[in-house]
A and B are shown apart, each in its own frame.
Chain A
Amino acid sequence: MRGDSGFPVRMRYSKRGKVRFVGHRDVARGFERAFRIVGLPLAFTLGFSPRPKVSFGLALSVGHESDAEFLDVELSEPIDLDGLPEALTDALPEGIVVTGIAALADRAPALQEAVTAVEWQIEVTAPDGDAPAPLVVARLAAATMAAPSVCVLRTRKGRETEADIRPALRRIEVLGASEHGVLLEVEVSTQPVGVRAGEVLAALGDELAERRVLRTGQWIERGGARLEPLAADPRRAVEARAS
């Protein structure tokens, strides 16, 4: 629960190019610096070690790109959002672009709990880097979706466990041949437990290798409606001007 005293704001950003090699925690630190550079009036936690109240959504694996990353930050006073996406983009590392900001309604649910589905575009090749036939990829996708359970190995706290990700898999679709291989579109549930793009690929078998992964969407599904996180609990929203 949020918004008891401050003014929550939700941002959407993309992360593309070399910066995709920067991990989630470091991106978060980059945002905190950018907030200070543009002089955003941040609300701080109480206590010995006050921290800005920033919460990020689902982590993005190091090396993966995204057009649909989100974070919530609480401000100490309401501010004019016009021009803020562009100002933040200038203060952020190259490749991170703030594409929209919405002032949230009080008590909007946090991103981590609210997001229920994500969508990926995954470019795959054969393990040797050659392009596989789209039909072969389609067969593997169909077989995976037809299986009653799909087990992958997961490392948690240094221990390997098996997890069945089949319940989270909603859709694996072959979009066609791409520059280096075949392009897939994948949609998965994030609740109760998320699935990584790498795990989806592992589920497809060792005939395919990951070439590029792009997160294309995150969704909040509520009462039958499928909402983009910026549109879920808005007070007001601005989109970045196309440059």
Chain B
Amino acid sequence: MSNLWPRIEPLLARVEKPARYIGMERGSRQPVHRPDAVAWLLVYPDTYEIGLPNQGLQILYEILNERRDAVAERSYAPWLDLEGEMRGARVPFFSVDTHRPAADFDVLAFNLSAELVYTNLLNCLDLAGVPVRAEARADLDPLVLAGGHCAFNPEPLADFVDAFVIGDGEEPVGEITEVVNAWKRGGRVGGREAVLHDLATITGVYVPSMYDVEYDGAWIRSVTPRYADVPAVVDKRTVADLAEWPYPKQQLVPLIEVVHDRLNVEIFRGCTRGCRFCQAGMITRPVRERPADQVRTMVERGLERTGYDEVALTSLSSADYSGIDTLVGDLINEQSGCGNVGLSLPSLRVDAFTVGVASQIQKVRRTGLTFAPEGGSWRIRQVINKLITEEDLYTAVDAAYSQGWRRVKLYFLVGLPTEMDEDTLGIAELARQVVAVGRKHTKQASATVSVGGFVPKPHTPFQWFGQNGSQELRRKIWLLRDDLKRTGAQVKWHDPDATFAEGLASRGDRRIGRVIERVWRDGGTFQEWSEHFRLDRWTDAMAAEGLDPDWYVTRHRTQDEILPWEHIAAGLHKDFLWQDWQAALAEHGLPDCRWTPCYDCGVCTDYAIEHIVASPVPPAGGSQGTGQDLSRGDSVPVVLLETRGAGAGTERPGVAQAGATQ
């Protein structure tokens, strides 16, 4: 029952933003810990401002606290100033809700949204006084779990995390609670090995220590479960119907400003646009829409409870929600009585319809609008399957400027497969045209071009692609920057060195664990923060471990090699992904299966789940991702993949052309 607050309080007087560590948000709980309840500490291993709004963590916090056999608290990575004070005063890592030592919890569960937080996970464990390596933990040490999108390649953290949850966490957290509770109450018979073995039999739970990995030189020869009842392949978990999970019901309202500081209501999960670079779109299939009535109720109650004056309807592509215009119209009319509530739709499609919806909701404060064409030429947009035509973009931009926006932000990736300098310079050309379109409406028109280096992600068609090295990315960014000088377009970019380290962790195997540990021991925490990132920490650690960075980052994978995450299943069949990769190289798009016949990627058929969408027709206007150029009459080449298996193993996939070609 220890409360560390009296020891933490004097430290807070000496740190930046002490309110990061006090808890007390509206909606937060101060659960009473009991011997018959499994105590979870949910940790977001980055700063409070980044971690607090995380919806996944908030959903699990509520679901666990609603259970009779669980209590849940939260914590975030302390910033370096407090970490120094804590180490100096021997204050361990603590929860922000009741300021209890992390080591007093049964489960430490980390949310992994980005690879560059991995070293922070190690640091949090170390600050907690919990052995960093899983093998060194004793029966009474907490179980260390992790989930989130990065868990789809768990191997780089296999040495440190006892068990990963793959996919939606709503259901497995209950099943894990029951297993841990039974083990605890039964006197921890069989020790850690016993509980981990039991956890490994829960669908969606991956326990790295239950698997032996054998290598053949640099390559993986096999990954074998150590027990007969431990699955050879761990399938992801999927909440079949979002309507059954109206969470968070009590969204946390932070006392200090955080990112996404507004009411967030998830309107659907999953996306089948099929953008080939996008891991989220691949691993969260199928599309599951929340019923519009439930969205309205969640918005109304949420605003009443929180006092927020802004609500975001979140998803991977919010304008794709069936009847989004009706929903938005209804919400605005309902809100008009209670003053100035703003509505925002993150992740907008690029088309005039979308701008129309946006203009409906942003009646005031029309400062900036963001579009993500991702690729600079039509050719490369076919490669990445983001089928935005130039007309789509210019029509959208024209609509935006004519309706009062003055600044347009454009997101692009560089370092994409098959990319040539023409594609990179195409970004500059698009930006110039966008500014030109804007200048017809206002002299103040400007565009910001934001460029990120592409990192191939596991479970996507680009998982075989050799990432561009830092030098090459830098060259392309410079090329773009020089071409855009004095054009009214401003260029911003991510550090290519950080992109390189992200690539190392993204597609790494178990051997990268030693590298992560070395980077952490060398002081490399908060690697997402440019002021704390140094690539030489990573390359030095690779050299010390005798590993070749280029083998991991810039090497093209072959079809026959075993990828480190092949024993983790997102439902997408490997031969589907390979075919889609080949289709990408052939510059062919793939339609969105919400509105076109199923091409059997594997997810729905294997898991017996389906799309839940209110409308079977694509949204009005624009061509993006529907696979057809709706504005010009279906002239985009579309690939229909043959049924699974037919095209596997051939260098050209079974390709049929659908629709008229030009």
Q: Which residues of A contact B (CB under 8 A)?
A: 18-19, 21-23, 25-26, 29-30, 32-37, 39, 42, 44, 48-50, 62-63, 91, 93-95, 210
Contacts and interface: CB of A to CB of B under 8 A. Distances in A.
Interface string B3-25: 00100000011000011011110
B189 interface: no
Interface string B360-377: 000011000000000000
B255 A30 contact: yes
Contacts of A94: 24
Nearest to B5: A18
B307 A23 contact: no
B307 A63 contact: no
B306 interface: yes
A93 B255 contact: yes
B18 A62 contact: yes
Contacts of A34: 307
A29 B18 CA distance: 17
A26 B255 contact: yes
B338 A39 contact: yes
Pairs of residues from A and B, 6 with the lowest C-beta to C-beta distance, nearest first: A33-B307, A21-B18, A37-B307, A36-B307, A18-B22, A22-B19
B257 interface: yes
B191 to A, nearest CB: 39
Contact of A44 (B5, B18, B19, B340): B340
Nearest to B22: A18
A23 B256 contact: yes
Given A33-B253, A50-B364, A19 B24 contact: yes
Nearest to A34: B307
29 contacts: A18-B5, A18-B24, A19-B22, A19-B24, A19-B255, A21-B18, A22-B19, A22-B255, A22-B256, A23-B19, A23-B256, A25-B257, A26-B19, A26-B256, A26-B257, A33-B253, A33-B308, A34-B307, A36-B303, A36-B307, A36-B339, A37-B305, A44-B339, A62-B19, A63-B13, A63-B18, A91-B307, A93-B26, A210-B13
A62 B306 CA distance: 24
B309 interface: yes
B24 A93 contact: yes
Interface in B219-271: 253, 255-257
Contact of A48 (B5, B23, B305, B364): B364
Given A18-B22, A37-B305, A48-B364, 4 more contacts: A18-B5, A22-B19, A36-B308, A48-B365
Which residue, B5, B26, B306, has most C-beta atoms of chain A within 10 A? Answer: B26
B560 interface: no
A37 B340 contact: no
B561 interface: no
Contacts of B23: 18
Contact of A50 (B26, B307, B308, B340): B340
A110 B116 CA distance: 49
Contact of A21 (B12, B26, B303, B306): B12
Contacts of B304: 37
A33 B306 contact: yes
Given A44-B339, A44-B340, A50-B340, A21 B307 contact: no
A91 B253 CA distance: 11
Contact of A49 (B13, B257, B364): B364
A95 B19 CA distance: 13
Nearest to B366: A48
Contacts of A19: 22, 24, 255
A36 B24 contact: no
Interface string B312-341: 000000000000000000000000001110
Given A21-B12, A22-B256, A42-B339, A49 B307 contact: no
B210 to A, nearest CB: 43
A72 B276 CA distance: 54
A44 B338 CA distance: 12
Contacts of B18: 21, 62-63
A25 B256 CA distance: 9
Nearest to B13: A63
Contacts of A210: 13
A29 B23 CA distance: 17
A90 to B, nearest CB: 10
A115 B18 CA distance: 29
Contacts of B5: 18
A109 B166 CA distance: 60
Nearest to B404: A48
Nearest to A25: B257
A53 B91 CA distance: 43
A82 B222 CA distance: 73
A169 B543 CA distance: 63
A46 to B, nearest CB: 11
A32 B21 CA distance: 23
Contacts of A63: 12-13, 18
A26 B255 CA distance: 6
B53 to A, nearest CB: 15
B100 to A, nearest CB: 15
Nearest to B309: A36
A39 B337 CA distance: 11
Nearest to B8: A18
A77 to B, nearest CB: 13
Contacts of B364: 48-50
A42 B341 CA distance: 13
Contacts of B305: 37
B88 to A, nearest CB: 14
A130 B443 CA distance: 65
A37 to B, nearest CB: 4
A66 B207 CA distance: 51
Contact of B307 (A32, A44, A62): A32
A173 B477 CA distance: 64
Contact of B365 (A18, A35, A39, A49): A49
B257 A29 contact: yes
Nearest to B256: A26
Interface string B432-450: 0000000000000000000
A21 B339 contact: no
Contacts of A49: 364-365
Contacts of A48: 364-365
A95 B338 CA distance: 28
Contacts of B256: 22-23, 26
A35 B305 CA distance: 12
A76 to B, nearest CB: 10
A18 B99 CA distance: 12
B30 to A, nearest CB: 10
Contact of A35 (B19, B253, B306, B307): B307
Nearest to A92: B26
A25 B255 CA distance: 10
Contacts of B24: 18-19, 93-95
A206 B568 CA distance: 61
Contacts of B303: 36
A21 B257 contact: no
A35 B338 CA distance: 12
B428 to A, nearest CB: 32
Contacts of B309: 32, 36
A139 B259 CA distance: 49
